[in-house]
Structure formats: structure tokens, C-alpha cells
A and B are shown apart, each in its own frame.
Chain A
Amino acid sequence: MKKYYDILYNGIIPSNPVFVLLLGMCATLGTTSSAHNGMMMGIATAVVLLCSNVVISMVKSLVPDKVRIPAFIVIIASFVTMLQLAVNAWLPSLNASLGIFIPLIVVNCILLGRAEAFASKNGIFESFLDGLGTGIGFTLALILLGGVREILGTGKIFGAEIFPEDYGMLLFVLAPGAFIALGYLIAIVNKIRKTC
């Protein structure tokens, strides 16, 4: 049991994809203009990661080493495209806010990184846990970053007003604010991890 717990926990804090591994920065910086958008992007990525991890773990012995990267990419890209079509068809409001970012999940390094580093070497259940843990870690990080940017930028959190929008620092909603907020969050998370 301890082993499984460790796999799950590892993706959430000790090797958090955003704050520790610094993977998938494009999606991280681009979609976190609000906590809600960050959460949705995190969940979408987590779903694809979970599916691709399980499938890659299933076919790992059928894929020769020399073609493993193209094979993984095809699998990941299929899941992303299916997700995109599904969101387009059944969740139009999510499509409006995240439409252009969903295809970007394909090139998110987290997916290929976990496929290479974990799913292609471990069993199906372990890969499932790893995908779940990393997905949760990614989602939490995006919610945190999106939340900080939303509060500082517009005075709201998940759309609920904390202070009037006139006092919000617009910069945090724009691209430069994403970099500044991410930098300070990484510093704080590292500080906490070292002292714990």
C-alpha cells in the first residue's frame, strides 16, 4: 500500500509538474488568467494524462524501443483530439474559454515525460496512479496560480468578488503577470519544501 501511496503522492508535491519539474509551462502560463480556467485546463490535462498513461502502459511491450516516441505521440494526440471534439460538442462554454489551449495539451511535456519516465516502465495500475497523482498536482498548481492571478488582477476568486475590481492590478491577468506570479510561487513552494 505504501508503494502505491508514494506513487500518488510523488506527482502532487515532491515532483509537482509545475512548481518542481517546470514542465508544461506553455499551458500553465497561458490558461491561468483565472482560477476557473486554470482548474478546467488542469482537469482536461489530467484526463488525457490518465488515459495516455494507462494505454501506454498496456502497449509498452508491443512497442519497439526505436519507435516508442512516435507511438506515444500518436496515442496522446488521439486522446487530445477526442477530448477536443467532445468539449466542442457537449461543453460549449468551456470551449469558448479554453478552445485554443486544448490542442496544446499534445505538446505538453508532462504527458510525454510521464509516458517516457513512468508508464513505459511500470504496470498498468502504477501508471494509473502516477497519471492521477501528476494530474492532481498539475490541476492544483494551475488552480493556485490562476487563483493568485485572479485575486491580484481582478479582485475575484472563482468569480466571487473579494475587493472591487478597480483595485485589481491588471498586469496579473496579462502575460507578464503570469511570469511574475509563477516565479514567486515557485520560490515560495521551494522555500516551504526545504523547511518541511
Chain B
Amino acid sequence: MKKLASTLPNMIISLGSITVIAGALLGWMYSVTKEPIALQAQAQQQAAIAEVAPEFNNNPEEDKWETTIDGNTFVVYPAYDNDKLAGAAVKGVSMNGFAGEIVVMCGFEADGTVKDYRVLQQAETPGLGTKMELWFRDPAGARSVIGKNPDKTSFYVSKDAGGEIDGITAATISSRAFLETMRNAFEAYREYEKTQAAKK
């Protein structure tokens, strides 16, 4: 087959039809994948909530409540066990990380004790700041935040005055940002508790 000559109509028809076909394919692909992608994102969110929050039988995502602390939005996903507040998962953000924002899903018991946490998003230095997912659940020394209550324990790195949590070695900035998220998440949970108490 001979190659089409580069005349204006030829070019317009050729490029036009390629673009139309490509566009149609993409549209089809988008419609096929739209639902799985949305489901995927939701499933991840739900999995994170279920992992960190105490037992619940409500739908935390329906009951979610938002507040703003230090300019960052904190989302409280309350966990109700038979209409009694059992705790909450709080999605917290800090912009003070070493590189980019840190998003943590923090789980609290009813009295504010940290139950568990998941780091959802971070861009810290590999091998240093990225250790935060494991470091702050490590029982060695005063590293772990799990089972501690920010009301009773000072959630600051032990390098800073009054701090009672051991920061990650050589990653103090990441550690501070992580603990800041924890503190603010706790704050958000307390605020939520107050608004609920006021309702009743």
C-alpha cells in the first residue's frame, strides 16, 4: 500500500480519525473502570477505618464530621457500638513533614486512648521518615503511641521539652509532624465528643 501524500485534506482526515477512535476507546475504558476505581478508593478508606477504630456497628462514613485545626481539615469517623460512642477514626493531615503532607488515620478509644493508626500518605525520606508506620507501634523504649492517651502522655518527641515519645532516630522533623497530626486528631475527636454531648 502506498503511503498517503501529505496534502491538507489527507492530514486532517487521518489525524482526525485517529483522534476520534482514540477518544472513543478512552471514553469506553473510562466508563468501564469508573465504578471499580470508586469502589477501590472507598474500600481502602473503609479498610483503614475498620483497622484503627474500635468495634462498631454503624456506618462511620455516613456519620462523619469535619473540623479545621491549624488550617488543616480533620475528618472524624465516629464508631458507635449500639448507639454508644465507642471511639473514632480520625483522618488527620500535617503539612510540616520533611517532604509534602502526611495523612494519618488515627484510631481512638472512647476515652481518647490511641488504639491504632495507619499512615495513608507520606513522602518522607526512605529509610528514615518512612519508618513512622512501624516505629510508633514499636514497644521498645518510649516509641509506641499505642495505648497511650494524649491527655496523660505528652505527645511530643522526647528531644523537645516535656516530650514523652521517642522520635525516629535522625528523622526528628518527620516525627514531630507525625505527633502533631496525632495531637490534632485527638483534639478533633474531643471537639466531636463535645458537639455530640451538646446535642443530647
Contacts and interface: CB of A to CB of B under 8 A. Distances in A.
A and B touch in the complex (CB under 8 A): yes
A74 B15 CA distance: 9
Contact of A71 (B1, B18, B40, B126): B18
A61 B1 contact: yes
Given A63-B14, A173-B126, A173-B127, A85 B37 contact: yes
A66 B12 CA distance: 11
A66 to B, nearest CB: 4
Contact of B3 (A64, A70, A77, A86): A64
**Which residue of A71, A89, A92, A174 has the most chain B CB atoms within 10 A of its CB atom?**
A89
Given A86-B33, A89-B37, A92-B44, A64 B22 contact: no
Contacts of A82: 25-26, 29
Contacts of B29: 81-82, 85-86
Contacts of A30: none
Contact of A64 (B6, B30, B32): B6
B4 A61 contact: yes
Query: Interface size bucket, A side?
Result: 20 to 34
Interface residues of B, number: 28
A75 B22 contact: yes
Nearest to B36: A89
A186 interface: no
A3 to B, nearest CB: 22
A78 B15 contact: no
Nearest to A72: B18
A178 to B, nearest CB: 12
Contact of A59 (B6, B11, B18): B18
Interface string B98-127: 000000000000000000000000000111
Given A85-B30, A86-B29, A71 B125 contact: no
Contacts of A89: 32-33, 36-37, 40
Interface of A: 33, 59-67, 70-71, 74-75, 77-78, 81-82, 85-86, 88-90, 92, 153-154, 165, 168, 170, 173-174
Ranked 7 nearest A-B pairs via Cβ: A89-B36, A89-B33, A78-B22, A64-B6, A66-B6, A85-B33, A61-B1
6 contacts: A63-B14, A65-B3, A78-B25, A88-B33, A92-B44, A174-B126
